[in-house]
Amino acid sequence: MSNTLTTSAGAPIADDNNSISAGERGPLTFDNFRMFEKLAHFNRERIPERVVHARGTGAYGTFRLSTDLSDWTIADFLQQAGKDTEVFVRFSTVGGGQDSSDYARDPRGFAIKFYTREGNFDLVGNNTPVFFLNDPSKFPDFIHSQKKNPRTNVPDPAASFEYWANHPQSLHQMTILMSDRGIPLSYRHMHGFGSHTFSFWNKEGERFWVKWHLKTQQGIKNVRSEDAANYPAFGAQQDLVESIDAGDYPKWKVQLQILSEEQARNLSVNPFDLTKVWPHDEAPLVDIGMLELSRNVENYFAETEQAAFAPSNLVPGIGASPDKMLQARLFAYQDAHRYRVGANVNSLPVNAPKCPVSHYQRDGAFAVNQGSEVHFFPNDRINQGAPVPVPSVAEPPMPLERDAWVKPHSQDNQDYYSQAGALFRLMRDDQKQQLVDNIAGGLCQASASVQQRMLVQFGKADARYAEMVKAALDS
């Protein structure tokens, strides 16, 4: 007999798979207290390294805008072609700790802090355009399945596949992870993606939905599983540092997919589902600039380790979307930084904006001199320079779905197979063989039930996909 799943306070939980949202495609609501408990506890599971993205490498550089985007956004750093914006970029592996290898089969974090004249914009993405999940309630469970076995403290592929067998929404990202792109040769030789759907709005108050893409100008280069052990654990970090020190500055072409609200409503996939890519024939890429890294950090701990990126670091003209994973990250990332580094994390040099900062926050760990001025709002010192809100930068209102009910919305009946199958069919024969061999190497350690459920998923994506995995398992 199974036990009842409860909160830490002992209350039974009715649904642990689906967060409460305003309609099937609508935003999350603030009564998701069970999800908040999971995410808040999850953020505090490790001291002091990051729970995910612990092993990272960072560098400074510049984003140069080549296309004026004033028709789409009021964001200052996206106005006037030729404008430069300083950036700090942190690359990372996701699942492993500081003791892990740069050559683990794992997604790579690709986080960019744009130091704009109107505050910091953080694009906190990965080297893949999709993710394993589209509901944040499952994120702690997913990461637990990817971590080391709690008894042996060694990697546990059986647990990973057991999770994926129970969550078909992971199939697309898992196919990417197990493909030849699962182990990049270096951080310079991989693409980057904002992954989530963000919003732009222009001076007329028109809203657009956007996805960010960064295409490496060094070319895609990867490492095969059987060769990964021959590379030093710190190889990707060493490569980036030495390349920049030698003046071989890595570059990425920055591109956007942009949809009007009407185009998004007619898109062939849910535009706010993080497990889906936007078809390029429906949302073509637009070149907007180039990102170049040209300066290494002076102190790894002070800069790279204490760098804090958060999707909630938005600037006027750029907003969030009903993407449920993004909505939860707006809360979870800043909460993680406040726990891990402190309440004044944004006062550290690597995180501090390059523009003037005025707010009413006070005290907390690592507080710098905050002065003796009035520390509440509203107040009677407005004419003496006390900071006030600026209504002109307000985001336009976002309508909810018609007849949207506030409840957990199951997404079990969504199509999680077509895009994974399309990706499989794009691969060369040798890439397909690498993919199925990598899958079989971990799936063979899982139970017969897990293997069968995964084969069903592969078959729904493409019959040949399932046939090849089964053949690899049998051999």
Active centre residues (catalytic):
53, 126
**Alpha-carbon gap, residue 155 to 95, rounded angstroms:** 10
Tell me what percent of the chain is helix, strand and coil, each rounded to the nearest 5.
30, 20, 50
Listed in sequence order, the residues at least 6 apart from 396 whose beta carbon sits closer than 8 Å to its beta carbon are 201, 205, 206, 207
In order of 200, 280, 355, the CA distances from 117 in angstroms are 17, 32, 5
Letter string b/e over residues 12-50, b meaning 16 or more CB atoms within 10 A of that residue's CB: eeeeeebbbbbbebbbbeeebebbbebbeebbeeeeeeb
CB 229 within 8 Å of CB 344: no
Cis peptide, bond prior to residue 378, ω within 30 of zero: yes
Angle between helices 448-461 and 418-426 (to 10 degrees): 80
Apex 329 CA angle, 278 and 106, nearest 5: 70
Token pair belonging to 192: 């980057």
134 CB burial (10 A radius; 0-12, 13-18, 19+): buried
Dihedral, CA atoms, 268, 270, 276, 278, nearest 10 degrees?
50
Cα radius of gyration rounded to whole Å, the chain: 23
**Alpha-carbon gap, residue 466 to 303, rounded angstroms:** 46
Dihedral, CA atoms, 271, 309, 334, 171, nearest 10 degrees?
40
Residue 363 is which amino acid?
Answer: D
**Secondary structure (3-state) at 112:** strand
**Alpha-carbon gap, residue 184 to 415, rounded angstroms:** 29
* CA 249 to chain CA mean position, Å: 24
Within 10 A of 11 (CB to CB), how many other CB atoms are there? 11
Q: Return left, alpha or beta for 187; rule: phi > 0 is left, psi -120 to 50 is alpha, else beta.
A: alpha
